[in-house]
A and B are shown apart, each in its own frame.
Chain A
Amino acid sequence: MANTLDNITVPVSLPFTLSLVGLLVAAIAFVAGVSTASDFSEFLLTVGAGSGLAIGFAFALISLFDTARPAMIVSALLGAAIGLSLGSSGGALFGIIFGVVAARLIFWVHLRQYRRGLPTYLTSNQVLWHYGFRAICAAIFIFLITPILVVLPLSFNAEDFFTFTPEMLSLDPEGFSLKHYKDFWNSNEWQRSFKNSLIIAPIATMISVSLGTLAAIGLSQSHVPFRRAIMAVLISPMIVPLIISATGMFFFYSKVGNFMEGTLGLDKNLVGYIKVVLAHAVLGIPFVIITVTATLVGFDRSLTRAAANMGADPVTTFFKIQMPLILPGVISGGLFAFITSFDEVVVVLFVGSASQKTLPWQMFTGLREQISPTILAVATILVIISIALLTTVELLRRRSERLRGMSPT
């Protein structure tokens, strides 16, 4: 029997497939056996029975079917049956997934489909390395994304636990609820902190974007004295450890606050907001400067000269010519500034007072003291917000690159 892949012919070898499957399952059984088996004979039995069963299963599938598709269906049904007999609907789901993956894998190995798309001259070791490397990368990607993905389903937990309950694992609707979202919605403290975040972050963003864009335009002129030093000062809020910035601003803004309350006679609450907004605006500035100067690097200066040539004054030139072109950079800088403020704890912890409690602050106290699952609901909402922001920034980046002719699309 031979199998045609692209335009080369690869021999199919049953012993190769079976030994690979056997080895894989034996390795899994080995790990499981080491931890559960009480003595050596039981251990051998686990490993032997596991790999034997797997080899038999693979042999049956390969001899019954020529292609992967029908084998996957049969294997899925088998998995579902075993899952149902052992557990509930959740077990059946796991059974189906396991069956499909196992059958796909067996035929993938058996029909040598893993060589598809790879140069034909690669040795088997190179093929092994190719897939080994991808497996490592996959593991790292999983490491990156798992914590975020774990939080999402847990936020629908019907219990006050931070882990998956048996009901959740068996996909029992009883195990899920919107309870924590309701808690978030009905709790005054969470609502107030959410509102505070929504007040503080946009205003701080506006300050950093307006001042930051002006300064970035100034910095990108051809002759700026002390350019490096100025840049270093403007970037420093990003570099200085937050705890140092926070303590510095704590002493500074307590004096400023006293002055505003005492001498100017402003409302205490208002002064509190002003303090936090100004502190957050400083923290957002480096992001605006960096993104806007990066956009200005690709800006064609002859456009402004052309505008001036045609009689436009600098202000008109700025708003009609320069601004529309650098707008994507400005907006993504603004989004960075927004997320910096929206996500900031340390500075608001030191500068703000209880009435300026923001969402991250509330989460921080929640995590440190009375840990409540409401945090997970809030976390899910924040993840959704960050997905929205990420999409916006990504779209803007592409648009900006397209405008500059850097990307073919």
Chain B
Amino acid sequence: MSDIADTGPVLAADGTPLKRSLARALRVQKTRALLLIAPLLAFVLISFIWPIGVMLFRSVENEIVENTLPNTVKELATWDGGSQELPPQSAFEALYFDMFAATELKRHTRLGTRLNYEKTGISSLFRQSGRKLDDPGKDYRKALGAVTSDITKSATWLELISGASDAARSAPLVASQRQRLSTLDDRQIKGDLSFSPSADIVQLLPRAAREYTAFALYTELVDGKDVAKTKPWESVYVALAADLSDADVSGYNGPHAQMLRDLVAADVTAPDFRAIFTDIDKDWGALETWRTIQTHSKPYTSGYFLNAIDMQKTPEGAMAQPENKQILVKLFIRTLIMSLIIMGSCALLAYPVAWILANLPARKANILMIFVLLPFWTSLLVRTSAWKVMLQQQGVINDVLVWLGLVDDADRLIMINNQFGTIVAMTHILLPFMILPMYSVMQTINPSYLRAAKSLGATNWTAFWRVYFPQTIPGIGAGAILVFILSIGYYITPEIVGGTKGVFISNRIAYHISSSLNWGLAAALGTILLVVVLVLYWAYDKIVGIDNVKLG
């Protein structure tokens, strides 16, 4: 037997070792299979899985606060929200300029809406404040203009901030302001700016230079207007007044240096930003408003998920929502209970039908199968509208009952726009999904087991319960999970026949997506729903196997 050991590895026809040759063949086969799958997989991943992932990500994403009020959030980071004191002046100042830019780009109402989910009233506070932010600017324009009317001219501002033609330019300021407007407006602001602030002025009048640069960027690149001919934002006057109070302009000799010296000499009072805001609305003087902003200033939040389970994120931590706002947990429970009822009634109705289909001779069973397959193939909307027609108060069922004298014409049964309507219509719609798996399982059950049980002395009931029923459990399980998965995410039927009492969580998600525009909450609700469905899907895969799903 020694010669076998001597021959070395077994060789394939082309001389390579058989092992390697086989491995290569396997690799080729795998690659070919993957190449066939790849286009579809890429399509589904890109246009289905990824969008859903991105959508669900909205449930924790909360960058809107930081994007809209970047400097305010920075100032608030050092403020102790638990203290009984309002945030420092610098926070109010940051808020003024942040809010002004946000108002110009019409972004402040979005933030107001976002924060309103957490604390009612903020939405109107933001809207009103946005409207009144111009007023202090106009006051300062008047006050400064009284000293020298030059300052109210658009051209003066351009020359002032541009500085001397040979002065050093401050590119970082332009870049940072471009960044600020881009995040605020949620899109890249592109293009070259014809203007750039001089480094001297940026050092001398930091606030005014900053606000004017933002204004110039917006005017030229978003609005497409000429900066030299456009009136600057009112905020630049407030910024200038604030700068003048602590600037030393005596050494400056760029354009309009004399005007600046005149203005300093006039000693216009520096703006009191806290007073500006508390004048606009006394709510700005309330700790609660600031705590809300601070609590929700993190770029990621658990707030939406807390909202989804009827809680809310407060400065003191997670708390239960007020009684009258607690509807979502109830809705989740209702969705679950109604899905269970639908699943149960489907199982109850499907069992005898599946049995009779599996036990009749093939010819008769095929004819009866039409009764199952026709509803299965009929448009969902046709079936839903049929149920609407049948269940209405002036509908077919009520008419028949009145005609038979079972129901008085005056008090016809209310069977639609409530839970009853949803359950009946959805049981009908999902019944084929229960019958078909049960049928395919029952078909495989050998009838001689039942006969054997009976011939051994079992009663009909015992034979059924101890011998037949256990063999049908896989079918029941498969059908039940399928019906439950489908019913828990249903939208159309509850929307049409469910009224207000018979709607599901899906309808609430749709409401938040299309009507209330609270996308974060919709995403949180959707995530919870999806997790439930995926767990059930996993169970279905374990019990039945996805490969074994049969259609028709």
Residues 352 to 400 of chain B near chain A (Cβ within 8 Å)? 352-353, 356, 368, 370-375, 377-390, 392, 394-396, 399
Q: Which residues on A sit within 8 Å (CB–CB) of B53?
A: 248
Q: Are A231 and B385 in contact (CB under 8 A)?
A: no
Shortest C-beta distance, A244 to chain B (Å), equals 5
Shortest C-beta distance, A337 to chain B (Å), equals 11
Shortest C-beta distance, B458 to chain A (Å), equals 14
Given known A224-B30, A240-B533, A336-B551, contact A232–B546 (CB-CB < 8 A): yes
Q: Are A234 and B44 in contact (CB under 8 A)?
A: yes
The binding surface of chain B is classed by DSSP as helix
Whether B195 is near chain A, meaning CB under 8 Å from some CB there, is no
Whether A76 is near chain B, meaning CB under 8 Å from some CB there, is no
Residues 100 to 153 of chain A near chain B (Cβ within 8 Å)? 126, 129, 133-134, 136-137, 140-141, 143-148, 150-151
Whether B29 is near chain A, meaning CB under 8 Å from some CB there, is yes
Bound together, the chains give a CA A141 to CA B34 distance in angstroms of 45
Whether B455 is near chain A, meaning CB under 8 Å from some CB there, is no
Q: Are A394 and B373 in contact (CB under 8 A)?
A: yes
Bound together, the chains give a CA A164 to CA B390 distance in angstroms of 11
Q: Are B491 and A346 in contact (CB under 8 A)?
A: yes
Bound together, the chains give a CA A236 to CA B346 distance in angstroms of 24
Q: Which residues on A sit within 8 Å (CB–CB) of B32?
A: 218, 221
Whether A198 is near chain B, meaning CB under 8 Å from some CB there, is no
Closest residue of chain B to A161, judged by CB? Answer: B394
Shortest C-beta distance, A365 to chain B (Å), equals 11
Whether B132 is near chain A, meaning CB under 8 Å from some CB there, is no
Whether B509 is near chain A, meaning CB under 8 Å from some CB there, is yes
Whether A239 is near chain B, meaning CB under 8 Å from some CB there, is yes
Type the 1/0 row for A368-381, where 1 means its CB is closer than 8 Å to any CB of B: 10010001100100
Q: Are A148 and B495 in contact (CB under 8 A)?
A: no
Whether A26 is near chain B, meaning CB under 8 Å from some CB there, is no
Bound together, the chains give a CA A31 to CA B407 distance in angstroms of 11
The binding surface of chain A is classed by DSSP as helix
Whether B343 is near chain A, meaning CB under 8 Å from some CB there, is no
Q: Which residues on A sit within 8 Å (CB–CB) of B37?
A: 214-215, 218-219, 224, 230
Q: Are B51 and A251 in contact (CB under 8 A)?
A: yes
Q: Which residues on B sit within 8 Å (CB–CB) of A236?
A: 44, 48-49
Q: Are B513 and A250 in contact (CB under 8 A)?
A: yes
- Contact with A148, one of B30, B378, B491, B533 (Cβ below 8 angstroms): B378
Shortest C-beta distance, B30 to chain A (Å), equals 5
Closest residue of chain A to B507, judged by CB? Answer: A243
Q: Which residues on B sit within 8 Å (CB–CB) of A53?
A: none
Whether B506 is near chain A, meaning CB under 8 Å from some CB there, is yes
Whether B452 is near chain A, meaning CB under 8 Å from some CB there, is no
Counting chain A CB atoms within 10 Å of each CB, the highest count among B51, B379, B460 belongs to B379
Shortest C-beta distance, B420 to chain A (Å), equals 15
Q: Are B51 and A249 in contact (CB under 8 A)?
A: yes
Counting chain B CB atoms within 10 Å of each CB, the highest count among A241, A249, A386 belongs to A241
Whether B236 is near chain A, meaning CB under 8 Å from some CB there, is no
Closest residue of chain B to A283, judged by CB? Answer: B48
Bound together, the chains give a CA A147 to CA B492 distance in angstroms of 17
Q: Are A249 and B48 in contact (CB under 8 A)?
A: yes
Bound together, the chains give a CA A244 to CA B54 distance in angstroms of 11
Shortest C-beta distance, B187 to chain A (Å), equals 10
Q: Are B33 and A251 in contact (CB under 8 A)?
A: no
Q: Are B55 and A247 in contact (CB under 8 A)?
A: yes
Q: Which residues on A sit within 8 Å (CB–CB) of B390?
A: 146-147, 150
- Contact with B529, one of A147, A241, A252 (Cβ below 8 angstroms): A241
Q: Which residues on B sit within 8 Å (CB–CB) of A150?
A: 386, 389-390, 396
Given known A162-B394, A239-B485, A367-B388, contact A215–B36 (CB-CB < 8 A): yes
Q: Are A230 and B41 in contact (CB under 8 A)?
A: yes
Closest residue of chain B to A286, judged by CB? Answer: B549
Type the 1/0 row for A67-79, where 1 means its CB is closer than 8 Å to any CB of B: 0000000000000
Q: Are A215 and B41 in contact (CB under 8 A)?
A: yes
Q: Are A244 and B47 in contact (CB under 8 A)?
A: no
Whether A339 is near chain B, meaning CB under 8 Å from some CB there, is yes
Q: Are A148 and B375 in contact (CB under 8 A)?
A: yes
Whether A245 is near chain B, meaning CB under 8 Å from some CB there, is yes
Q: Are B552 and A332 in contact (CB under 8 A)?
A: yes
Bound together, the chains give a CA A350 to CA B30 distance in angstroms of 39
Q: Are B30 and A225 in contact (CB under 8 A)?
A: yes
Q: Which residues on A sit within 8 Å (CB–CB) of B372?
A: 144
Interface 9-mer from A288-296, A298-306, A320-328: A288-296
Residues 111 to 153 of chain B near chain A (Cβ within 8 Å)? none
Q: Are B371 and A144 in contact (CB under 8 A)?
A: yes
Given known A163-B394, A248-B54, contact A148–B382 (CB-CB < 8 A): yes
Shortest C-beta distance, B463 to chain A (Å), equals 12
Type the 1/0 row for A35-55, where 1 means its CB is closer than 8 Å to any CB of B: 110000000000000000000
Type the 1/0 row for B16-50, where 1 means its CB is closer than 8 Å to any CB of A: 00000000001001101111110111011101111
Bound together, the chains give a CA A382 to CA B511 distance in angstroms of 29
Q: Which residues on B sit within 8 Å (CB–CB) of A389?
A: 377
Whether B547 is near chain A, meaning CB under 8 Å from some CB there, is yes
Q: Are B41 and A339 in contact (CB under 8 A)?
A: no
- Contact with A390, one of B30, B374, B492, B547 (Cβ below 8 angstroms): B374
Bound together, the chains give a CA A245 to CA B44 distance in angstroms of 12
Whether B405 is near chain A, meaning CB under 8 Å from some CB there, is yes
Given known A144-B371, A293-B547, A343-B381, contact A248–B55 (CB-CB < 8 A): yes
Q: Which residues on A sit within 8 Å (CB–CB) of B383?
A: 147-148
Whether B256 is near chain A, meaning CB under 8 Å from some CB there, is no
Bound together, the chains give a CA A285 to CA B55 distance in angstroms of 21
Whether B190 is near chain A, meaning CB under 8 Å from some CB there, is no
- Contact with B29, one of A129, A144, A223 (Cβ below 8 angstroms): A223
Bound together, the chains give a CA A191 to CA B371 distance in angstroms of 30
Bound together, the chains give a CA A249 to CA B43 distance in angstroms of 13
Closest residue of chain B to A342, judged by CB? Answer: B379
Q: Which residues on B sit within 8 Å (CB–CB) of A244?
A: 52, 55, 489, 509, 526, 529-530
Bound together, the chains give a CA A279 to CA B482 distance in angstroms of 23
Q: Are B485 and A376 in contact (CB under 8 A)?
A: no
Q: Are B374 and A386 in contact (CB under 8 A)?
A: yes
Query: 15 A-B pairs, CB-CB below 8 angstroms?
Result: A35-B406, A136-B352, A147-B386, A148-B383, A218-B34, A218-B35, A236-B49, A239-B485, A243-B509, A244-B509, A252-B54, A332-B552, A336-B551, A375-B385, A394-B552
The 8 closest A-B pairs by CB, nearest first: A241-B489, A218-B36, A252-B51, A147-B386, A248-B52, A215-B40, A248-B51, A218-B37
Please list the residues of chain A having a beta carbon within 8 angstroms of any beta carbon in chain B: 31-32, 35-36, 126, 129, 133-134, 136-137, 140-141, 143-148, 150-151, 154, 161-164, 211-212, 214-215, 217-219, 221-225, 230-237, 239-245, 247-253, 278-279, 281-282, 285, 287, 290-291, 293-294, 332, 336, 339, 342-343, 345-346, 350, 360, 363-364, 367-368, 371, 375-376, 379, 382-383, 386-387, 389-390, 393-394, 397
**Apart from A147-B428, A218-B32, A235-B546: 7 A-B pairs, beta carbons within 8 A:** A35-B404, A36-B405, A148-B374, A150-B396, A211-B39, A360-B381, A390-B370
